[in-house]
Amino acid sequence: MRSRTPDRLCAEAVDVALAVTEEAAGPQSVGEHLGVVAEGDRVVTHFFACKEPAYRGWRWATTLTRASRAKVVTIDETVLLPGDDAVLAPEWVPWSERLRPGDMGPGDLLPTEADDLRLEPGWTGEDDERFPGFPEVVGAEVPGVSDGAETSEAEGPGQDFVVPTPATISAVAAELGMGRPRVLSRYGLHAAADRWEEQFGAKTPMAQAAPANCVSCGFLVAIKGSLSQAFGICANEFSPADGRLVSLSYGCGGHSEAAVMPKTPAPPPMVLDDLAETEPLALHPDRTASVDDEASPAEELGHS
């Protein structure tokens, strides 16, 4: 049990602790004696101030001890420990917890754990004795189906079904995730949907102020799979979600039917005046009449 009272001989050996501390850290790094703490029976730690500028608030700790019934004090260790007002580095966090979306750059590799909850094992056919290899199963010939035939009806009374082609089987298998070591699990699917719903969903300020939802927008590009019932891709270059996966309940002011601009009215046809059947008009009728009415000076003299 740890003793609360420091051992007297170890506590009085301040000079011994100071000499050991200066030998380990250097005289320029060791300051005044700060106190003594009992670590156990006949085990005492002496604290000295640290003068290093980079370790403000830290202190040197030298532990002394002695054997039972012995009067000679021995050295245990000397370390640098933080004090109550020491400047400490933030608590170390694993890289997997520090990683944030957008941190990856060109050439970076992000490993996934073997038991990642977002993924689950896929089906490749390698472990199934009936199907030694998935590519062979997809490309295998179906009995009764000739090469190049799209479909074939099975022979036999009461049997009328269509055998799919290898290309159709391959497309369906690829969509289901066959051939991949791991596929998206239900947990990973729901986590992705919640994340996308938070970014471009019905509860965002943009959607709250939108005149209509994306489900009725002409710029929405439909997707396949189970997510097609709740998400689509925005193709409006002026929308803040252009090229992003958006919820069908999301919306913005760029909705295709929100504010349809009216068509520009066609201008009326040009009308030209027809002057063919009218008499020409004088450019200055008032001036012409005044000139004709005026008499010449010779005429005025002849009448006089």
pLDDT at 30 over 70: yes
pLDDT of residue 198: 92
Positive or negative, the CA dihedral 106, 107, 112, 118 is positive
**pLDDT on residue 134:** 46
What confidence tens digit (pLDDT) does each residue in 150-203 have? 444 445 555 566 777 877 777 776 666 677 788 888 999 999 999 999 999 999
Residue 135: its pLDDT value, please? 47
Per-residue pLDDT tens over the stretch 128-161: 554 444 444 444 444 444 444 444 444 555 556 6
Check residue 160 and give its pLDDT: 62
Lowest-pLDDT range of 58-67, 151-160, 254-263: 151-160
β-strands 43-50, 58-65 pairing: antiparallel
> Would you state the pLDDT for residue 172?
72
Task: State which of 109-113, 245-249, 286-290, 291-295 shows the largest mean pLDDT.
Answer: 245-249
What pLDDT does 171 receive? 72
In the predicted structure, residue 281 carries a pLDDT above the cut 70: no
Is this structure's pTM higher than 0.85? no
pLDDT of the residue at 296: 56
If you average pLDDT over every residue of the chain, what do you get? 80
Residue 114 reports pLDDT greater than 80: yes
Output the pLDDT for position 225.
82
| pLDDT (0 to 100) of residue 95 | 82
Report pLDDT for 87: 83
pLDDT band at residue 107 using 50, 70 and 90 as cut-offs: confident
